[in-house]
Chain A
Amino acid sequence: MPKDKADLLQGTLDLLILKTLQHGPIHGFGIAVRIRRMSGDVLQVEQGSLYPALYRLVEQGWITSEWGVSENNRKAKYYRLTRTGRNQLAREASDWERLSNAINLILKST
């Protein structure tokens, strides 16, 4: 099973989700939209990855969910960060920064 690749992708998606939730509760569709917009339409999150990731994060205890009403007056499930989720975000963000810095260093050194 191609486990390592999945882990890498999964971790990245987790980080993105946690980041989008940093500014307040938001529903699944909104997360997808926000990631797309924030990445300048570069990152298109598949629902097939998004929802499993959300459920996994809930199970990990980093985010929780509750039902609410969307801007269009629809019933929607809102996700928000928990305290541990906030810590996790900080940790993962710094990890990511370190990693991307390292990669950048390598790529720029010719």
Chain B
Amino acid sequence: MNPLRRLHQSFRALFARRKLDAEMDEEMRSHIEMQTQEHIEAGMPPAEARRAAFRDFGHVDGIKETCREQREGWLGRQLSMTGKDVLFALRQLRKSPGFTVVAVLTLALGIGASTAVYSVLNNVILNPVPGPEPERLLQIAERWWDSRTNSESENFFGVRPPVLEALRRNEDFFAELAWYETDSLERETDDFVDRVSCAFVSPNFFSLWATPPVLGRTFAEDEAVPQDENGRFARDSVIVITHAWWRSFFQGDPDVVGKRVELSGRQFTVIGVMPEYFGFPGWGTAFWVPVDDPELPPNATTGPNYKVLARIKPETTERQTQAMLDTVARRVSEEHADGSGYSNQWDRHPDGLALQTRPVRYAIQGEAGGEDLQRTLFGLLAAIGFVLLIVCANIATLTLARGERRQQEFAARIALGADRMRLIRQVLTESVLLACLGGLGGLFVTFWGVKLFMSLVPETLPRLRAVDVDGTVLAVTLLISMATGILFGLVPAWRASKTPLGEAVKQVGSMATAGVWRSRYRDMLVVIQISLALVLLTGAGLMIQSVVRMLNVDPGYDPENLLRVSVGLPLEYGSQQDRINQILGDVHERFASLPGVLAVGIHKDPGSGSMEIEVDGPRGPTRVAVRGSGVEESDLFAAMRVSLLAGRPLNREDIAEGYFSNYRSVEGVSAVVINESLANTLWPGQDPIGRMFSSINSESKRQYEVVGLVGDVREYRYDQETGPIAYRPYHEFHITGAAPEFLIRTSADPDTLVPAIRRELIAAEPAMRTPGINLVSRSLYDSTQAQRTYMTYLVVFAGVGLALSAIGIYGVLTYSVARRTREIGIRMAVGADRLGVVGLIIKDGVRLITAGIVLGLLAAAWLTRFVEHRLFEVDRMDPLVYAGVALVLASVALLACLFPALRATRIEPTKALRYE
């Protein structure tokens, strides 16, 4: 018969059972009737004939059962046996709900959490680039010389226009050559002017990523817009928008394709929306504009802003690529060797213009937060790996203990004639069933966990692909836990099946069967569990310590009831120092007159305006950041309540206008207020007031006289590094750098002031950009979010690990108490008191706990390097933390020992002796 028909028949036998059974009944009945007929014909009375026919036929039900088995065939028999085994296993599992729940939960958590973290890690960091052969997608940049550190910069900036042009001329070398540049365009709202982050891209940008838009289309080759030398667009253009901007700005309008938006004086038509997960180059990009390659006049100077991405042809080698880039670099430097435009900057690098490549993957990994995230996720993965190991160890001890308890059952069943293979099969079914249940739970945990762990990914990180659950990892973790279950479930069953029949019968009812090797084996598992739990606890302890330290950091001022308002002014005002200062002064006046405002300070960070200063003495040049502060009524330190440690604050006479906007214009002596870090760097242990220093890179050799000393300040984050800072009146700084900030000290809830603040800003300057308004105490607290999240995860994992190890040691000791019932009974009979018995059991526990803790401390000392990057002012070897977690673990484990020990004391000596 062909296998298909046979299969069909088997299934029919299994699933059309009732109908087939009825037919069988009918057939047997007809047989008996025929037999009866024969007897009657032979001369028997009808009643007797019938009886005889039944007697001849034999045991009807037995025959039917045999017939059914025959009917199903081999496959059907296997299937129906498996079905029975599954039902049996389910019954067994239901009989011990505690074991089942713990096993399934731990499996689900272990499988789910590790798969989720790995999925995030893999899709965001390890393999962030979608599409085939991501390793052939390269980023090309000029090697950059950092003149401040006098070394090659690790930054992978990009290329300047002539290089891009030269690469374009060699376009045939690449399979695809695209570039992007991040920028922003302005959009007028009802009150302020909004700056919208976007990326200018070559029109083929999207074809690199093999990611189609969710709505509409991406750019066509001829849609690129030319830009003039000031970056203005020559005409209206099309844009592709991000999912986030579609949601926030277009309210998720399904008919968004074809809608227009006015930005920086041009109309932009939406032609497509990218998927939610696609955010490249990150940093809050709202949309992409197709732009022509730049055509700048040769004397223009611009930085290496053009980020070039290239797909290399399959047959091209790394060496060929580099050789080609070297040729391009050489040609560009020759073409621009006449001293005009770019050429004066080629020689910044000692090797002249040189190009380098790296896989695009690194662009994401090396991005701010990328490296930290990678370490964070690996740390979590390690933590989860430990939890998984503890889970496995626990399942091992649980099934081992259970199996040994059931060894009597097995022995009894073998004595009663059960097939040994059948027995093993049943145990196997149970383990696999358990693993499947755990795996199913794990699937749920995974999907939920991916969302949870995605919260660790900083928003600034470029994202290219959807984070989908990694099937391979899910399968691997599932297999590992299934293998554990099978292995340790099988050991007792196998041993039971190997036991000679006579032995097996003798074993029925006997508890004294566990061999020494097995208890030693289980002891080892518990020791490993405890040590793993200790490592997890140490990590969690260090993180808790960090977060506590962080939240207790004195930021150097009073963050309560303090608002920070950063105000953006049109960049065109850049050179008009008087106008800017007038606007800022006006805004200050308006803010100060609002009801509920106690003080308003002004802060200006010129960003690139840090200067190098040098002082007379043994110290070399010291880098100092220069910041602008308000003077007198707009004094920054008064508003923030930064303590003035010595000297006086800045005042109006200290303002030397135009100094920073023109390095050459002012000579003489300027007053500065410095912070503690600077004082400690330059004059440790001495009074800095009245001391002088001068700047190196200013041609004027300007002198600075320290008039005041203030405390160090952490304005934005609790874990912010504090460096040496010199404060000068903000009036001297022009518009570049970070937006000026107003720090407003209020008497009551600062949130109620926000509408008034917005109103006053518009009133002071109609062209004002949308301000950033933050409650300082809130943003400080939010700055600890990453650490708090990380801490939470570690604490949860450590808690799970701790609980599981407690269960582990509890199980082992309970088992050993049960095993030693007779021994304990004898001890008590010969006069041991209850305390002695408790001591006896506890001693066993203490042995295991001590071994576990010692092992764990050693492992933790080595492994905590994985959390080190997240630690704040805590040494990863902090003895307090190590002692603390050891203590916690020891007490929980001892508590777990106590229950079996107390149970031992309740043993009645007389009963115990009769126990077996």
Binding site for B on A (CB under 8 A): 27-30, 33, 46-48, 51-56, 58-61, 70, 72, 74-77, 84
Contacts and interface: CB of A to CB of B under 8 A. Distances in A.
B73 interface: yes
6 contacts: A28-B31, A47-B57, A48-B63, A52-B66, A59-B10, A72-B37
B26 A77 contact: yes
Contacts of A54: 67
B614 interface: no
B830 interface: no
Contact of A74 (B13, B33, B62): B33
Given A47-B57, A52-B66, A53-B70, A72 B34 contact: yes
A47 B58 contact: yes
Contacts, number: 74
Contacts of A52: 63, 66-67, 69-70
Interface residues of B, number: 32
B622 interface: no
A76 B28 CA distance: 9
B59 interface: yes
B72 interface: yes
A8 B37 CA distance: 33
Contacts of B9: 59
Contacts of A53: 70
Contacts of A77: 23, 26-27, 30
A32 to B, nearest CB: 8
Contact of A59 (B28, B31, B57, B71): B71
Contact of A28 (B27, B59, B62, B69): B27
B16 to A, nearest CB: 14
Interface of B: 1, 5-6, 9-10, 13, 23-24, 26-28, 30-31, 33-35, 37-38, 56-59, 62-63, 66-73
B67 A51 contact: yes
A23 B30 CA distance: 22
Contact of B27 (A60, A76, A84): A76
B6 A29 contact: no
B148 to A, nearest CB: 87
A18 to B, nearest CB: 15
Contacts of B23: 77
Contacts of B66: 48, 51-52
A103 to B, nearest CB: 29
Contact of B31 (A47, A48, A72): A47
B70 A59 contact: yes
Q: Of A27, A33, A51, A60, which is in contact with the most chain B CB atoms at under 10 Å from its CB?
A: A51
Contacts of B58: 46-48
A74 B30 contact: yes
B71 A47 contact: no
Contacts of A56: 70-71
A84 B1 CA distance: 7
In the A-B complex, the 3 residue pairs with the smallest Cβ-Cβ separation, listed nearest first, are A61-B1, A56-B70, A55-B70
A48 B69 CA distance: 13
Contacts of A28: 27, 31
B80 to A, nearest CB: 13
Contacts of A30: 34
Contact of A60 (B1, B26, B28, B30): B1
A48 B59 contact: yes
B70 A47 contact: no
Given A53-B70, A77-B26, A47 B34 contact: no
B34 A76 contact: yes
